[in-house]
Structure 1
Amino acid sequence: MAVGVTVGSITDELGAPSFVHSFFSTISAHCEPTGWGSRFPHLMNELYQGRLPHVKALLALAELQQAKATLSNLPPASVVWDIENRQPKPPWGDTIAPHITSLGNYFVSSTGRDVFSILEEALAASAEERRDAVLE
């Protein structure tokens, strides 16, 4: 079953649970030197855990944008599939599309959309509509 982000009645699919975990693992591994949620608490400790209150959506959006800026400077080979066990690699290995040039554009949803873009739209909608963002 795929994981999606829901705001109100709109759900956007992200992908398999392991893929979503990899997205957040990669952010934490490369952007949070003192541990999970230490730099991006709203993104990592609230949204990833399942629910981000709408009053914190703009804070999480700023965190997401900072993470994307950092990851955009790292090569695709730096992906982290699982932060708890850094040995496993993605199921597709190093076989990626030629347009993927960094970790900033590495993560593409199961529907073919950029995961950063999906989450940016969801967080903006959460703040604007005053509805919590739910990851499930």
Structure 2
Amino acid sequence: MAIGLRVGPIFYKIGTGSLLHSFFSNIAYHLEDHKWGSKYPFLMKELYQGELSLANLSKVKEELNEIRAAFKGYAPDRVIWDIDDLKQAPPWGTHIAETITSLSNYFVTSDGKQFFDVFDQALQAGIEIRKPIKLQSL
């Protein structure tokens, strides 16, 4: 089942729920000292729970910019699949494209777009049309 970001009538496809969970797991594991939402509460707590309020869109934009910059310091082999089960590995194992150079460009949507770019587009749309962002399964 696919999951994505809904902003009013616009849907931004991400991919599987497990891939999205891995993205959030890496943030908590590498950047929040294993404490989910301790450094990036609006992204990790509010959006991950299903809906990001209009009032916090700009804050999440800032959080994601900081996360993207920090992820540049983590090689692709540092990826974790699930913070609750560190023995799990991505379904593709270590077979990744040569263009993936860090965790900042590791996460790609099911249609080949960078996670950070899709999140940024959704946040910008939410700001422009004044709508919250919802996590939604298709």
Shorter-chain TM-score: what band? over 0.9
1:22-59 Cα offsets, whole Å, 9 max, x none, are 01101111111260000000000011111000110000
Gaps of 5+ in 2: none
| Matched residue count | 136
Matches within 5 A, 1:3-22: 3-22=3-22
Q: Distance in 2 between matches of 1:38 and 1:133?
A: 21
Gaps of 5+ in 1: none
Q: Distance in 1 between matches of 2:129 and 2:91?
A: 37
Q: Distance in 2 between matches of 1:27 and 1:123?
A: 18
1:82-123 Cα offsets, whole Å, 9 max, x none, are 011111000000000000000000000001100110001111
Q: TM-score, normalised by structure 1?
A: 0.97
Which residue does 1:109 correspond to in 2? 109
SS of residue matched to 1:11: strand
Contact 1:68 1:116 in 2 (8 A): yes
Q: Distance in 1 between matches of 2:83 and 2:61?
A: 22
Contact 1:55 1:130 in 2 (8 A): no
Matches within 5 A, 1:44-123: 44-123=44-123
Percent of pairs with identical residues = 43
Which residue does 1:36 correspond to in 2? 36
Contact 2:28 2:34 in 1 (8 A): no
C-alpha displacement of 1:128: 2.0
Q: TM-score, normalised by structure 2?
A: 0.96
4+ residue runs of structure 1 moved beyond 2 angstroms? Answer: none
C-alpha displacement of 1:72: 1.1
